[in-house]
Amino acid sequence: MQQDYKGHHSLPEAEFNIADDHRRLMIRLLFVLASIVVLTFSLLNFLEGLRILPAIQLCCGLFGLASLHRIQKTRHLTRWTFWFLLTLFIIVTFAVYTVDGSDTNFVWIYIMPVLAYSMLGLRPGLLLSLPFVLICIGGLIWHYWNIYEVLTARTIANLVNLAAAGLLVILFMHYYERGRADTQRQLLHMAATDALTNLPNRGEFQRTLRSTIAHSTRKNTPFTLIVLDLDHFKQVNDTHGHDAGDQVLKQLGHCLQRNIRASDFVARLGGEEFAIIFRDAAGNEAGTLAESIRQAIADMPFHYDDTGLSLRATLGVATFPDDGKDSTTLYKMADERLYRGKREGRDRVVTA
């Protein structure tokens, strides 16, 4: 049995949502910056004699500043981000189409795809950026047409530059975001997976146990937690070597996966200790399921190279909500029963 877990009954509550915190910080910073810029433009446009645009800008700027507190707390961050960016896009489009507007208004076109991709991800990023850039480039053509009335070769070259740069920013952001999202997915998978058995790891087990408790509490349904430990596993390592031990653990992982239902969950907690969550199972059914797992392990022909190995396991069983209403108590109960099973001779299921 792995020493780290002997007598260690706690399930540390360590869950971070780094991506969300980062996005929250980014959107707050953007709200502050955008509000200051929009309020400045509102004043400048007002002084220029415009009325509708500065009025819209004033409302957006004040709304941005007033929203900072809500963004810190909201659970609908994506919705907030989407509406914020859409408003910003409409303002920029409007500014680009304003004939009397600043000649440098177009620079904002290139920032928008960066914001959309980095804050909303791949598909919403593309859905917001592409129409926006195309509409703005259309606006620029219209703008030039209004100023010069004829499109000279020089004007056309300017427009091609503007359009090519805009589409390049989208292309770059699209591939960058795709690579970043793939890497993040892989990292999250690695962080939740045990490298040897490819089963969910201890951290993932803790999260799943907590979410199963929350779900079962809401639905008023029981479930069963089993903590399982191979017997005398050290002997496998000592007799056949560490590599043989690794092969046995992998084969045990496959065996457990084969013997649970699609709705159930199995994880490797560490060493030769595994956990199974049998959803919607309690009482006699829980004992029967645990016994079927013990029997499957006893019947399993483990092997290393040409050597056949026979192994046994001890299982501690706890049922929600009777044996514990929170993850720590429930795990502790299953763990205590597992160790009682070890003390009483191993190769058994302990349910009470």
Ligand X SMILES: Nc1nc2c(ncn2[C@@H]2O[C@H](COP(=O)(O)OP(=O)(O)OP(=O)(O)O)[C@@H](O)[C@H]2O)c(=O)[nH]1
Member of 177, 204, 264, 272 binding ligand X (CB under 6 A): 272
Member of 54, 101, 271, 341 binding ligand X (CB under 6 A): 271
Site for ligand X in 221-250 (CB under 6 A): 229-234, 237, 242, 245-246, 249
| Nearer CB in complex with ligand X: 1/260 | 1
**Residue 342 interacts with ligand X (CB under 6 A): yes or no:** yes
**Residue 303 interacts with ligand X (CB under 6 A): yes or no:** no
| Nearer CB in complex with ligand X: 207/346 | 346
Residue 268 beta carbon to ligand X: minimum distance, rounded to whole angstroms: 9
Show the tokens assigned to 35. Answer: 């509000």
Site for ligand X in 183-202 (CB under 6 A): 196
**Residue 79 interacts with ligand X (CB under 6 A): yes or no:** no
**Residue 22 interacts with ligand X (CB under 6 A): yes or no:** no
- CA distances, 196 to each of 51, 71, 250, 298, 315 (Å): 67, 41, 7, 22, 21
Q: Do residues 137 and 110 lie in contact, with contact meaning Cβ atoms separated by under 8 Å?
A: no
| Nearer CB in complex with ligand X: 204/272 | 272
Distance CA 270, CA 8 (A): 12
Count of residues in the chain: 352
Residue 82 beta carbon to ligand X: minimum distance, rounded to whole angstroms: 45
Residue 271 beta carbon to ligand X: minimum distance, rounded to whole angstroms: 4
| Nearer CB in complex with ligand X: 204/264 | 204
Distance CA 259, CA 103 (A): 69
Residue 246 beta carbon to ligand X: minimum distance, rounded to whole angstroms: 5
- Residue 210, judged by CB atoms within 10 A of its CB (0-12, 13-18, 19+), counts as middle
What is the helix (H) or strand (E) element at residue 257, kind and residue range?
helix 242-258
Residue 272 beta carbon to ligand X: minimum distance, rounded to whole angstroms: 5
Number of residues that bind ligand X (CB under 6 A): 19
Q: Do residues 126 and 170 lie in contact, with contact meaning Cβ atoms separated by under 8 Å?
A: yes
Comparing CA positions, the residue from 111, 70, 104 lying closest to residue 88 is 111
Comparing CA positions, the residue from 341, 342, 343 lying closest to residue 352 is 341
Residues in contact with ligand X, shown as a per-residue x/- string from 142 to 181 under the rule CB under 6 A: ----------------------------------------
Which residues does residue 303 pair with via DSSP β-bridges, in sequence order? 308
Backbone angles phi, psi at 200, to 5 degrees: -55, 145
Provide CB contacts within 8 A for 28, sequence distance 6+.
68, 71, 72
**Residue 8 interacts with ligand X (CB under 6 A): yes or no:** no
The binding site for ligand X (CB under 6 A) comprises 1-3, 196, 229-234, 237, 242, 245-246, 249, 271-272, 342, 346
